[in-house]
Amino acid sequence: MERPRNFRRLVMAAIKPPSIPWLITFGYLGIMLFLPIVALFAKAFSLPLDQIWQIAIDPVAIAAYKFTFITAFLAAALNGIFGMLLAWVLVRYQFPGRRIVDAAVDLPFALPTAVAGITLATIYSENGWIGSLFAPLGIKIAFTRIGVFIAMVFISLPFVVRTLQPVVQAIEKETEESARSLGATHFQTFVRVIFPPLIPALLTGITLGFSRAVGEFGSIVIIASNTPFEDLIAPVLVFERLENYDYGGATVIGAIMLIFSLILILIINFLQAWQQKYEL
């Protein structure tokens, strides 16, 4: 009689209802994350397949995809370099105004994107403080691809810095001193001691910055000329289709952006997991 009782207990334990925290967690994720995604794909695939294909391969849309993803990747990569340097300086060095600089890193978080766009367009226009320096050289920044790139760099920088700061703080200075005492140069110490622990956080920050840059709209719609085949990004293209009451086309383009973004994020996460496994 003991074995059936134990078996019954195992079955009851396996089929017991989930706890309240699990229900709350999955309920919140279902409402706030999964349901909107399902609705987006449901709306997109409610159109005939041939129409979906025509929207997806439209030359204007393809040009917008390429420009959006390539520019966002370049902006995230640039922030990966300078964001790591900035995080290192803020953690390891004490200097006048350090707290002000540290707080200024979060400005893209707090600043409305439309205000950021107006500010960048004013500074980098031909009559702006920075744009006027390049205008005599024939270099136009605002309302060009360069302006879009600068806007993406501006709004994605905090993600890299804030992701790297805790990891830099966790690196003990004694480890660096030990490497130096064993004859390692500054470069060797950085490559073999400092940089490897930073790689997972660096990839995470770049991924977050890339995702933020891909979805940026408010600042770019102001600093760009939004001309097809020039500096038109996919989010602005979605908005233009919505303005023309083309809700099906807007959802198709949005679904394609979501698919490509998820694929790229999964690839980066796979590389991050592989690097951590390799270290172990």
Under DSSP, the state recorded for 191 is I
pTM: 0.85
- How much of the chain, in percent, has pLDDT values that exceed 90? 47
Could you give the angle at the alpha carbon of 169 between the alpha carbons of 164 and 170, nearest 5°?
A: 100
User: What is the rounded distance in angstroms from the CA atom of residue 159 to the CA atom of residue 265?
Assistant: 15
16: pLDDT confidence band, cut at 50, 70 and 90?
low
Specify the higher pLDDT residue, 174 or 128: 128
Q: Give per-residue pLDDT as tens, 71-127.
A: 999 999 999 999 999 999 999 888 898 899 999 999 898 888 889 999 999 999 999
Helices (H), the chain: 2-14, 20-29, 35-44, 49-56, 59-92, 98-104, 107-110, 113-124, 131-134, 145-170, 173-181, 186-189, 195-214, 220-223, 234-243, 247-279
14-32 core/surface letters (b: 16 or more CB in 10 A; e: else): eeeeeeeeeeeeeeeeeee
| Two tokens, residue 260 | 């490509």
Confirm or reject CATH 1.10.3720.10 for domain 50-279, answering yes or no.
Answer: yes
**209 burial type by CB count under 10 A (0-12 exposed, 13-18 middle, 19+ buried):** buried
DSSP 226: -
Q: Count the Cβ atoms, other than its own, within 10 Å of residue 79.
A: 27
